[in-house]
Structures are given as structure tokens and as C-alpha cells.
Amino acid sequence: MGRLVMKFGGTSVANIERIRNVARHVKREVDAGHEVAVVVSAMSGKTNELVAWCRDASPMHDAREYDAVVASGEQVTSGLLAIALQALGVQARSWQGWQIPIKTSDAHASARILDIDGGEIVKRFADRKEVAVIAGFQGINPQTGRITTLGRGGSDTSAVAIAAAIKADRCDIYTDVDGVYTTDPRIVPKARRLDKIAFEDMLELASLGAKVLQVRSVELGMVHNMPIFVRSSFDEPDAIDPHATPPGTLICSEEEMMESHVVTGIAFSKDEAQISVRQIEDKPGVAAAIFVPLASANINVDMIVQNVSEDGKTTDLTFTVPAADFDRAKETIAAARDKIGYARLDSAGDVAKVSVIGSGMRSHAGIAAKAFAALAERGINIRAITTSEIKFSVLIDTAYTELAVRTLHSLYGLDKA
């Protein structure tokens, strides 16, 4: 017998029939003797609808009331799933974030989990054999007593945090895909599902464009060494052996893997924009004059490239920002022009970031050089490059994204079993 957390995303609970299907998945694990806590998202499309209602009510709405509204989607799902489980003869009750409680910071719409008291849930496992059906994405700030939400994808974070709090053996993330792939199968049909992937590699994939898991959920899994299984909720519930290794991808510590692949996967993001600040004086404080105002405006900067002129007196600074922040970033830089002292501001919104990730890069030389040569052969120009110990990213024109991804996927043999 084990203790599991099972998380189901919006597409898995999109309607009553799918909620009944989720209930069958949960009953399978309960019948196998497992203690089970379930974390659910809002029904597919419901959060977008609630957000739109807030904006319609007032474009400048109170963030605290926004959280009170958008958190209701998960409340509905948790109650419906508890009803569906009871109809199957499974003892179950729904829990909202404030009832557990899941204590968070007061950063409404992007709160961080501070503490979870899972004592009552664990007690009910023993006393009542009761399944806890928990509304994901939400918590409570203990100082204000207000409902908070964790940001988009926050139910993943809720699930991993709850798994750590109740000392679960595993956290299963059920979604509309059957695992983590070497890249997007819609771009590369030969992309392979990975049986295992290290936390570090998954963290890079998630942060660089892969949509399977929220970044913070992977961070929590790594900090608490909580194994995470990504699996499909659309597999037939009764066809799965609850005592066997689940079908899907296990995200675990590097020590649990037999070997690290040199390259694990290729991620890409088209939600990028490039800004170049031209002919600024090459002196201390200029970079701060650019990036401090951007940070104050809560604009994340990613790739940064600096080119110094031949005479060493001026420099160009190029960087990328999320496409959604493109206009705000340009306005922020323009407002600080007198302090920065640049001659010209160039920008481009038709760029994409393609990233190559793999823990094995630590011990292999020339991985990036092979990519640069292969992209050059395809006539793909690289605008900027960033590297770290286990990944490198290139910025290219959006039109070449799919060609670049396919080229790199084949280059590193990821389409071979």
C-alpha cells in the first residue's frame, strides 16, 4: 500500500463525463489499497471565462477580489468529483485551499506557498479511508485571511506541494498527453516519449517553452525529491495495473537514472521579442540604467548580448523579453532615454527561442558547436546565444522555428529509439 497524490488538469475534468472517468481512475488506486489525495483544476475554459468576467466588471479590478472569483472554478470541480466518487461507493470529501489550510504569501494572482498542514487529511486516511479532493491553484494568506491564487498552472504546484506535505510516495500529474516528449510531436512526428527525465532537465524544458508542467511544480519536486509521474487521463482506467509502473514519464533525481543522455530534449518558444539599444556609452552603470527600470516594471529579461565598438567608447545591448511585454518594455526604455543616453532603439517581434537541454552536456564538449554548424547549413541565422551548464538557447527568426527544431532533433539522434 502506498500514498498517492493524483492531479487532473482542466481538459481531464472538462465535463461531467470526464469527471466520471477521473473518478474511475481514483477508484482504481483506492481499490488497490492506496491512500489517495486528488488535486483538480477548473473545468477547461472556465478560468478564462472567470478572468474575462473580472475584466468586464472593471479593467482596473481589485486583485484580492479577482482571486476570490477565479478560485471558484476549482471549487466547483472538487465538489463534482467528490460527488462522482461517492456515487461509485468511494468515501470522499472536497477541500478548498483555505480549509486545509494551504498558507501562501499575499501576492494575489501569483502567490507562493509558505506552508501546508496536511495533518487532518492524513488522519482521515487512517480513520475513514477517505479520499481528499482538493481544489488546486488556491490558498489563503494567514495575515489577511483572503483567498489567494498561485498563477496559471498553479494546480501542478498545489499537487506537488501537497504530496510533500503529506509525505506521499509519488505525485501523478494526469494531463491530455501521455508523458514528456523529446520535443513537440506536432512539430516532429518522430519525437519520443521519455521513460525518465531528471528534475534539472525538466526544469529547463518547462522554463524554455515545454507546456507539460508549471516551472514551480518542478522546482518543488526537486527541492523535496518528490517523484512526479506525467501520464494521460484518457487511458482506459480499468486497463491499468495499479501495482505496475504507470505508463508515462517519471521525473526524478539524476541519481535515480541509470545514465544521463547528452541531449534530453529540444524546447522552443515563439513568445519572444528582441530589443537592441544602440550606441550607448561604454561605462559603469549603463546596464543598470536599462535593466533596473525593466525590473521595476516586472518585465523579465532573458537573453542578453553586448557588442563593444572598435574604439571601445560605445556599445550595443541586445536582449529579449516576453512578447506580451514587448510594447511596455519599449516604452520603459524610451522613458529612461535621457539617463541611458542611447542613439537608437531597434526592435523585432518576429523571433523565436530554440533551446537544447541535457544533463550530459556537463561532460561532453562541442555539443553547441555541432548545432551552430547544422543551423548554418540550413541557412538559419542566429541572432543571439545564451548558455548554461546543461542547456544552450539560440534566438532565430520565427519563420525558421520548425526547421530548426527538426534539424536539432535529428542532429542529436533524439528520433532514434
Q: Which residues of the chain have pLDDT under 70?
A: 1, 209, 257-260, 309-311, 417
CA distances from 370 to 4, 279, 281 (A): 43, 33, 35
Q: Kindly report, residue by residue over 266-284, the tens digit of the pLDDT.
A: 999 998 999 999 989 888 8
Name the architecture of domain 3-257.
Answer: 3-Layer(aba) Sandwich (3.40)
Q: Is the whole model's pTM more than 0.75, yes or no?
A: yes
| DSSP character at residue 193 | B
| Residue-level pLDDT at 260 | 62
Question: How far apart, in Å, do the first and last CA atoms of the chain sit?
Answer: 34
| Residue-level pLDDT at 80 | 98
Question: 330: phi > 0 → left, psi -120 to 50 → alpha, else beta; which?
Answer: alpha
Detail the DSSP E strand segments found in 285-343. Answer: 304-308, 314-322
Give the start-to-end residue ranges of the domains of the chain.
3-257, 266-411
Domain 266-411 coded CATH 3.30.2130.10: yes
- Residue 338: CB partners within 8 Å, gap ≥ 6? none
Matching residue, cell 558547436: 369
Q: Helical H runs in 312-365?
A: 326-335, 337-340
Q: Kindly report, residue by residue over 14-49, the tens digit of the pLDDT.
A: 999 999 999 999 999 999 999 999 999 999 999 999
